[in-house]
Amino acid sequence: MSDTPVIGVLALQGDVREHLIALASADALARPVRRPEELAGVDGLVIPGGESTTMSKLAVLFGMMEPLRERVRAGMPVYGTCAGMIMLADKILDPRAGQETVGGIDMIVRRNAFGRQNESFEASVTVRGIEEDTQGPVEGVFIRAPWVESVGASVQVLAEHRGHMVAVRQKNALATSFHPELTGDHRVHALFVEMVRAVL
């Protein structure tokens, strides 16, 4: 069996291309996923940034919501960035009407917590489990970013910024408020690829 994992990027909406490039740079075979049959063919999945309400509605429209929930419940490794973090939350503090989540991480998330589009920013973030060596902290791009209000006992907090949780992990599920795929630093993706490789 090859130890090169096949990792999908949910391609309903959001920054899909950047994640495909980052995953390929981290030695994964990356492919877009739009339909349940494509989801069935991957070892792990990235849920990208974008607009969480739109992503939720499209997942339902494309018949993806229940297959996503089933795969995540069954232990498929999954990584969500920004809107993807919201999609992986078991609860949203301030959901839009009809907004659904995939769930998988025992956390409560606040949407747009760091402000609107014009308040976007970059910041250095120390992420537990990622070697800083010569590269230093991870550079986080926060765009209408959520933060984690609270977590259950089984959730590891991997990073905080301004006193708020911005990266968490629960078993095979990883989530960040920020967008590492936009910086050219692929260490967070490499961490996720290793999570996927561990269950092959």
Catalytic residues: 82, 179, 181
Question: How far is Cα of residue 169 from the mean position of the Cα atoms in its chain?
Answer: 10
Residue with tokens 């995540």: 72
Beta strands in the chain (DSSP E): 6-10, 29-33, 44-47, 78-81, 89-92, 105-110, 121-125, 138-142, 147-151, 156-161, 164-170, 173-176
> Whole-angstrom Cα distance, residue 177 to residue 173?
14
